[in-house]
Structure 1
Amino acid sequence: MSASSVEVALVKAGRTKIRYPAALVSDDGTHLVVRAPWAAPGVRDFGFVRFEPGDVFTEHYWRDRWYAVKEVRSGNGTLKGWYCDVTRPAVVLEGRVEVEDLDLDLWMSADGSTVLRLDEDEFEESGLADRDPEAAAEALQALDALELRAHSQGFAELLSG
């Protein structure tokens, strides 16, 4: 990996769920921004949005926050919305960004009309509340904060700084 690229690894339940190369946009030591094409094979249709080949994700990670926010655009540049992953704070080492997915997610459509909390059932089933109650509490607080931001001011200001 060159200084202008990194590998992103999403870890879930101790296993790497997906890894992919991304272009490093910026890193101020706390807030890291990368850009990558849709990395999974084929199309993923959630019903409220489709992720597909050609889509571009501008991904924002923080070393001190329990979430990542991904701006999603189609191949022609049209904003689809923001997909937010609740994660442990990002760990960045030697050209690799690693984030541990804590199952909770939030989606906000480009026009702000749709804000959805996702995968709360998976979070419950994960047993994190029993294994690591402090992390579970941080995860729930992060989801609440993301939802509040989505309903009140959106993500543009958060992602510009």
Structure 2
Amino acid sequence: MVEEILKEMIIYANGNKKDIAHFLKVHSYARLIGKLEQLDEKTQKILEIAAIVHDIACPLCRKKYGNSNGKFQEIEGPDLVYDFLKPFSLTDLEINRIAYLVGHHHTYENIDGLDYQILLEADFLVNSDEMNADNKTIAAMKNKVFKTATGIKLLEYIYE
């Protein structure tokens, strides 16, 4: 199922190579961190799907607001997730959790669950590279946000 959702999200991105590359990289990091942190199968599936669709609102936000600011994505994303995931064999609870994660993937407080934690870490790993984050920003995120042993090690291996 995850592979089918990946394929559909690539189609949904309508040729935007930057968006496609971004969610593929976030999914890859999220999958890796989740596996190495030994998530249970259900949480791993939710994490991976959330990583694929986390920026589903970017095209709409660019059109509606003129940019894809994270807070706009959090506002617009959940409704898009519900529509996008309807055709797949997911429970309402799974879709609700995925929509929640998409609606909070730029919120670094009140993190409730390893799926949420890992999604933040995976997205930051990719965003740091794409936005050429400075050492001060990376160090602050490491100290304030990163919690998983795997995420911390990846951050250190890549940026230190």
Q: Quick one: higher RCO (CA 8 Å, sep 6+), 1 or 2?
A: 2
Compute the TM-score of the two structures, normalised by the length of structure 1. Answer: 0.32
Question: Could you say which structure has the higher strand fraction?
Answer: 1
